[in-house]
Amino acid sequence: MNDIRLQGIGMTSRRTRDRLITRLREQNITDEQVLAVIKETPRHIFIDEALSHRAYEDTALPIGFNQTISQPYIVAKMTELLLAAGPLKRVLEVGTGSGYQTAVIAQLVDQVYSVERIKQLQDKSKERFQQMGLKNIYLQHTDGGMGWPSKAPFDGIMVTAAPEKIPEELLAQLAIGGRLVIPVGQSQQQLKLVIRVNEMAFDTHIIENVKFVPLLAGTIR
Ligand code: SAH
């Protein structure tokens, strides 16, 4: 990719990105680190070129296979919630999708382990991480409801597709003091923050109503 495409022109330009940041502030995103990373992350390279003029609108957009790139506000909110207790070393993401959320969190933590059930989405995301020069992202093509047990425990887990209930496997892979951010439900979904207090105890906080694609079982080549 050439520099022009990476930096963006016209509707993908700096001014357009600045407007997005203003909007996120208006929606009470306050973590300056998160805002700075979102401002510098070229969201337009994570979507089809035909839609790239809409990349800095605060909206979800289609990425093929019936999936969507998350809305910037939700990416900001989930990232802020995950980082609220201090810096994180190891983060698991379930649902790489376009890789946009992955790229954002990867600039704020030591290592990101991201799993995706649709191989073609994962392959595309990998190219984008290379274009951005991100080297701390590890990918696996798998059903992420099971997490990534061999890389556990994680200081943070973020899930970008909604299960009906929180998978036990993910709770088990959370470090003590670790934080899980996950949308839960079917037609009515809530974003939840779960903090692991000790071996046995978890504190759950309901954050807000959300709309995510469902967490599905199995994988697609
Ligand atoms: N954060 C992504 C969101 C993509 S949508 C982005 O901003 O682009 C959610 C993604 O979760 C989809 O790519 C979908 O294929 C994936 N997904 C759904 N169920 C899954 C599962 N069980 N394991 C891994 N990925 C899953």
Per-residue confidence band for 15, with pLDDT thresholds at 50, 70 and 90: confident
Q: Is residue 220 part of a domain?
A: no
60 CA distance to ligand 1 centroid (A)?
13
CATH number at residue 45: 3.40.50.150
108 CA distance to ligand 1 centroid (A)?
21
161 lines ligand 1 (CB under 6 A): yes
Q: Is residue 143 part of a domain?
A: yes
Per-residue confidence band for 10, with pLDDT thresholds at 50, 70 and 90: low
The closest of 165, 143, 144, 164 to 154, measured between CA atoms, is: 144
The closest of 90, 135, 134, 92 to 116, measured between CA atoms, is: 92
pLDDT of residue 14: 83
The closest of 143, 51, 24, 62 to 95, measured between CA atoms, is: 143
Q: Is residue 57 part of a domain?
A: yes
The model's pLDDT over 29-56, given as tens digits with 9 standing for 90+, comes to: 999 999 999 999 999 999 998 998 899 9
Q: Is residue 162 part of a domain?
A: yes
Residues 6+ apart with CB under 8 A from 115: 92, 93, 94, 95, 96, 139, 140, 141, 142, 143, 144, 147, 148
pLDDT over threshold 90, residue 190: yes
How much is the mean pLDDT over the chain?
95
Q: Helix/strand/coil (H, E, C) string of 66-114? A: CEEECCHHHHHHHHHHHHCCCCCCEEEEECCCCCHHHHHHHCCCCEEEE
The total of structural domains in the chain comes to 1
Q: Is residue 38 part of a domain?
A: yes
Nearest residue CA, atom 12 of ligand 1?
A: 97
Which residues are tagged catalytic?
70
pLDDT over threshold 70, residue 181: yes
Question: Locate tokens 């330009």: which residue?
Answer: 13
Length of the chain: 221
Q: Closest ligand 1 atom to the C-alpha of 220? A: 15
Percent of the chain with pLDDT over 70: 95
pLDDT of residue 4: 65
Average pLDDT over residues 168-175: 98
Q: pTM for the complete prediction?
A: 0.96
Q: Is residue 144 part of a domain?
A: yes
171 lines ligand 1 (CB under 6 A): no
Average pLDDT over residues 150-166: 98
Q: Are 115 and 144 in contact (CB under 8 A)?
A: yes
Q: Closest ligand 1 atom to the C-alpha of 46? A: 8
Average pLDDT over residues 128-149: 97
Q: Is residue 188 part of a domain?
A: yes
Q: Is residue 184 part of a domain?
A: yes
Give the structural domain span for 35: 4-210
The residue type of 111 is Q
97 CA distance to ligand 1 centroid (A)?
5
41/157 Cα distance (integer angstroms): 21
Nearest-Å Rg of the Cα atoms of the chain is 16
